Structure 1
Amino acid sequence: MIKDSIVIKLWLATSLLVLLTLGLATVTQVWLLKNTYYRQQVKTILDGTTEVANSVGQDNTPEVITDRLEGLANGLRARVFLVNESGQIIYASSEGTGWPRGMMHGMGGPGYGFGARSMFGQVDMEQILAGKSVITQGHHPMFDMDMITVAVPVRQNKKVVGAVLVSAALQSIDANLRALQGVSVYSLLGGLLLATGLSWLLSRSISRPLLKMNKVARAMAQGDYTNRIDMTRHDEIGMLAQSLNTLSKELNDKINLLRQIDETRRDFVASVSHELRTPLTIIQGYTEALLDEVVETPEKKEEYLHSILEETLRLRRLVNDLLDLRQIETGQVKLNKQAVDLADLFSAVLQKMEGLFREKQVDLKLALPEKPVVAEVDPDRIGQVLINLVDNALRATPGGGRILVKLMVSDNEITVKVTDSGPGIPKEEQKLIWHKFYKIDKSRSRSGGGTGLGLAIVKQLVEIHGGRITLDSQPGQGTTFSFTLPMQPGAAPKYHQE
């Protein structure tokens, strides 16, 4: 479990990356520091020796030469020697050499008798006499240690008359270098510890929201879509958490919607079963009564026949609705489009329904533009849309109510509104009414009609005509269904002022 933790993996990866980066940087720094430090020390010795050699060549006073050579030895913490052109040491600094301090003779005189060639086997006196400075590094035979030796020629009147030699122990230089390198190593260790701690905190901060997301995802897998991730960060992890919250919310809404639809389907099956059973029972009973000659009067027979016809038409409407919806959903409906004056079409359709309005005592009003409104539509299908919407409004409107059908044109678009004065549709049910089999009033009897297919058919027919349908309803204030249709090109809009 621990080895699979993203916290451990991220922490180890970050720590290893920091270790490799800082380690490489430290190794490079140590190498550069060593080379740079040696170059700087050699340059310092060379510059000091050159300055003293020039002063010795200009002033041959023994006291002055001695002071300058001793000052150079003390400043560089090194051994300083003055040799003549014959290579004999005529002066040695008093820094632990064991030789007497002071000048034996001048530059041209005899020296101690110790030859520079014998003491400094690596020093090429021929190059010095030729006027060149010599820098060597290696084991010093006299002091039995590794040293850096710098020899600078001394000139008098442009002639080399000797040389100033400086020998500095590498041990002291290495000690200083190791101290500097130690600082780099300690910096590496300190940076590594700091980076390790910070990477652990970073890993925890990244993994904590991931663990919360995992908890929510597991809950979703078990069917619980109510959990949310409390996240205030706005980076990629925050965006992922927000997306997971959105997914959980949408899935919860979808599941609830599917449950409602499934409940609606079950209600529809029960409703259709009732719708089929009742007319079939009536038809069967009346038919058997007629065949058995139970009915004696012609008036009663005619009443039975009318009842059989009414129930047969009811069954036919139900079957036709189911077939229409099936054809629309499978794309089998072929529209017979033609240029139609919608004002004439709507007037004709509503005229056929006047008897229903009179029977229920509902006032119907049709508001039309002053000029024809021509559209490229299938007149039968658009007539079916209007019939379904008006019939739906009529069933929802109580006696004494009012229904308004209004036809308008704007921005090359035709808008049709069907407004009733019924009780309105509850807000929570408004998004469900477009689903097939859904009925708002589940307690309606057969006399209320409707199978829950009308609005589903209307929506499909409007959309395949290139339009859209919307709903505006407030409980207790009635309902307005609005649908749009594309207007035939070239038809000029003209509004009807009421």
Structure 2
Amino acid sequence: MMVTLIVIMAILIVMNGWQYYSRKKTKQHINEISDKLTNIIEQQTAEKVLLQTDQEAIQLLLIQINLMLDNNQKVFADYAKTKDSLRKMIANMSHDLKTPLTVILGYVEKIKLDKTMAKDEKEIVILRLHEKVMSLVSLINQSFDLVKLESDDYLMPLSKVSLNEICRKNVLEFYDLLVSKGFQVEIDIPERNFYILGNEEAINRVLSNLISNAIRYGNDGGVLGLTLRGDGETIAVEVWDKGKGIAEVHQDRVFERLYTLDDARNPQFQGSGLGLSISKRLTEAMNGTLHVSSQPFEKTTFTCRFKQMTY
């Protein structure tokens, strides 16, 4: 009986000792984790919390903590990128709003201060004032459109559409302007119909932006073309010109919001820097891609590529 009691007491002492040791070790691990987390937060480093332990609960805790740190680092990186983009956008928007507003103010002051202005001259000034106001309204509307396209909850209704007819329609809408500017127009649209899952209004806007862009910057080349072709499972729509083109250093950035080439600041071009950004977002909303390739004064091509529907 006495032996049994002694054995039980020994077991209890060992168990208590083991529990004390485990609690002490757990507390030590938690303190180490706390110190490392404090250091990571204060130093704003991309480190992970690493700790050798055979305690399963601590191992699971470390996994969750490191997953949280990974997520936080991504959030901080996205925040920094968004902050930088917002800063650039505000700077560019300020420039693009300031310029027409300054011109508008100049026209208003001219009408207000020049009491001897002839009626014909006043009508011309009012007409120019109206054009500038409409240009400013268009810029603001495009900015709102781009914000809407970039929102997470934006959904575009898609249906089966024929690219052939849409391409012909858009070329015809610009044909008189192209002829008046002396462009040679080269169109290659096959008789066979090509179908995609898309949105006709969105495709019209993309093509309108690309053709307008080609007219604006490709005038020196005197040629504008539109090509529709099938590439196996995909369909490509190419709008091209033989103008001054886009230098390689700019090609990766032309789709950024409010990014314009230096000469686009010239009033002759009337560019907002939003058309290509909107076109790219619309194309991507239809599960397509939009790319540019350019050899100055040889050929500059904007290519929209979509998955072909065969049913």
Q: Under TM normalisation by the shorter chain, which class is it? A: 0.5 to 0.7
Q: Match of 1:446, SS?
A: coil
Question: Structure 1 residues 358 and 475 mapped into 2: Cα distance closer, same or farther (>3 Å)?
Answer: closer
TM-fit CA distance, 1:235: 4.0
Q: Which residue of 2 aligns with 1:230?
A: 48
Tell me how far apart the structure 2 counterparts of residues 354 and 412 of structure 1 sit (CA, whole Å).
33
Q: Which residue of 1 aligns with 2:172?
A: 348
Give the alignment of 1:79-90 within 5 angstroms: none
Contact in 2 for aligned 1:232/1:238 (Cα 8 Å):
no
Q: Which residue of 1 aligns with 2:138?
A: 320
Tell me how far apart the structure 1 counterparts of residues 290 and 157 of structure 2 sit (CA, whole Å).
27
Q: Which residue of 1 aligns with 2:90?
A: 265
Amino acid of the residue matched to residue 271 of structure 1? D
TM-fit CA distance, 1:246: 2.9
Amino acid of the residue matched to residue 392 of structure 1? N
Give the alignment of 1:8-407 within 5 angstroms: 34=1, 178-217=2-41, 219=42, 226-232=44-50, 235-278=60-103, 281=106, 285=110, 292-293=117-118, 305=124, 309=127, 312-323=130-141, 326=144, 329=148, 341-354=165-178, 358=182, 366-373=187-194, 382-393=203-214, 399-400=220-221, 405-407=226-228
TM-fit CA distance, 1:393: 4.9
Among candidates 246, 249, 259, match of residue 439 of structure 1: 259
Tell me how far apart the structure 1 counterparts of residues 111 and 260 of structure 2 sit (CA, whole Å).
32
Tell me how far apart the structure 1 counterparts of residues 253 and 231 of structure 2 sit (CA, whole Å).
30
Tell me how far apart the structure 1 counterparts of residues 144 and 294 of structure 2 sit (CA, whole Å).
32
Q: Match of 1:212, SS?
A: helix
TM-fit CA distance, 1:413: 6.4
Q: Which residue of 2 aligns with 1:467?
A: 286
TM-fit CA distance, 1:268: 0.9
- Structure 1, residues 414-448: CA drift from partner, whole Å, max 9, x if none? 54344674124658857x71x4xx22447723234
TM-fit CA distance, 1:334: 11
TM-fit CA distance, 1:271: 2.0
TM-fit CA distance, 1:309: 4.7
Per residue, is there more helix in 1 or in 2?
Answer: 2
Q: Which residue of 2 aligns with 1:454?
A: 275
Amino acid of the residue matched to residue 205 of structure 2? Q
TM-fit CA distance, 1:241: 1.4
TM-fit CA distance, 1:396: 5.7
- Structure 1, residues 230-284: CA drift from partner, whole Å, max 9, x if none? 3457744224313323322332332332342134124313321212322553586
For the aligned residues, what is the CA RMSD?
5.0
Question: Structure 1 residues 190 and 379 mapped into 2: Cα distance closer, same or farther (>3 Å)?
Answer: closer
Say if 2:301 is the partner of 1:482: no
Q: Match of 2:16, SS?
A: helix
Contact in 1 for aligned 2:142/2:274 (Cα 8 Å):
no
Amino acid of the residue matched to residue 237 of structure 1? L
Contact in 1 for aligned 2:228/2:235 (Cα 8 Å):
yes
Contact in 2 for aligned 1:368/1:406 (Cα 8 Å):
yes
Amino acid of the residue matched to residue 228 of structure 1? A
TM-fit CA distance, 1:288: 8.3
Structure 2: 5+ residue stretches without partners = 52-58
Q: Which residue of 1 aligns with 2:54?
A: none
Tell me how far apart the structure 2 counterparts of residues 255 and 343 of structure 1 sit (CA, whole Å).
40
Q: Which residue of 2 aligns with 1:422?
A: 246
- Structure 1, residues 9-30: CA drift from partner, whole Å, max 9, x if none? xxxxxxxxxxxxxxxxxxxxxx
TM-fit CA distance, 1:388: 1.3
Give the TM-score of the pair, scaled to structure 1.
0.44
- Structure 1, residues 440-481: CA drift from partner, whole Å, max 9, x if none? 447723234222332354356557xx6145344689897745
Contact in 2 for aligned 1:231/1:241 (Cα 8 Å):
yes
Q: Match of 1:447, SS?
A: coil
Contact in 2 for aligned 1:409/1:415 (Cα 8 Å):
yes
